[in-house]
Homo-oligomer: A and B are copies of this chain.
Amino acid sequence: MTRKIVILTEGHTNPHTAKTAASVIRYRTDEVVAVLDSTQRGVTSQALLGVGGGIPVVGSLEEAPSADTLLIGIAPRGGRIPDAWRPVILKAITRGMNIVSGLHDFISDDAEFAEAARQRGVTIHDVRKNRERDIAQRPGFRQGCVRIHTVGHDCSVGKMVTAIELQRGLSAAGHNAKFVATGQTGIMIEGDGCPLDCVVSDFINGAAEKLVLANQQHDFLLIEGQGSLFHPSYSAVTLGILHGTLPDGLVLCYEAGRTQVAAMEHVPLPSLTELRRIYETVAGIMHPCRAIGIAVNSRRLSATEADDECHRASDELGLPACDVFRHGADVLVQAVLRLREEIVR
């Protein structure tokens, strides 16, 4: 059954803060009926988020009478519910809409929301809620299951979209490939996965390992990365996924022109060469693994500049490079297939 989703981004309808919204619109376009932001009423999703075509930005829930689901479309630092959003969420519940949220603050744990949902008989799906309690056991994975992991120099550089575009490219070429979602947005898009950044830290490697065990019947797993080994706040999450899923190949994701950690201007980002060295070293502690390609996020560049940047990156590391939105993911798909040739006999 197709949902009819309103995505709440009140006051934050831009591609960075509302990256959950933008990605759900990109990959679940048919299910989205409106974006809710009273400060931007009347414009289109395309104009504000760069995706979604004519999907309207509305000023209130009343303007989307057919909608049956309210999806929280931002991922603020720290994951708390902005106070200004409470009346909207409550109104949606009262109207009989289901709620989908990826915040660290669980809406279903809020007494007022929980009681309202119970009375109205609607579902609150807190995507990040989990009871992961298994430590990694290193049981060994199926030999024929090639694991590709997208890692980055920072947050919000395209690790999720690169994994999805790779999966789509492999599937389109007739291969049995699965996108493995590790974060709230990926789970909203794929419909399964595990919110690894919200797992108790003793169990993150174990939860990541279980994601592979549950999906290793596929020939290719495209495992979404989170955070970055270079991010002061989230490097532990990044490592838990790297050491729990034991990738065979890495796709290095970076945004051209970004030289400092986002919102931490005193923390510099590494060169591409250093990025590769650190990820290969740290992954290699547990399993033979190497970088096989580069996903360049060139959103700040012109088309010509983007091509130049991809050539520069490719020359620096001797690896194929592309912007998956501008150029398609084909050169990376080919790199994955070459890796499979090598490691699966």
Contacts and interface: CB of A to CB of B under 8 A. Distances in A.
A79 interface: yes
A69 to B, nearest CB: 25
Given A77-B135, A197-B201, A285 B281 contact: no
Given A201-B204, A243-B232, A138 B264 contact: yes
B243 A235 contact: yes
Number of copies: 2
A199 B200 contact: yes
Interface size class of A (residues with CB under 8 A): 35 or more
Contact of A281 (B198, B199, B281, B286): B281
Given A135-B233, A198-B202, A206-B233, 4 more contacts: A137-B264, A197-B200, A198-B201, A229-B285
B135 A240 contact: no
A200 B197 CA distance: 7
A200 B135 CA distance: 14
Contacts of A196: 201
Interface in A11-47: none
A209 B232 CA distance: 10
Contacts of A197: 200-202
Interface in A197-234: 197-202, 204-206, 209, 229-230, 232-234
A237 B133 contact: no
B138 A230 contact: no
A239 B205 CA distance: 12
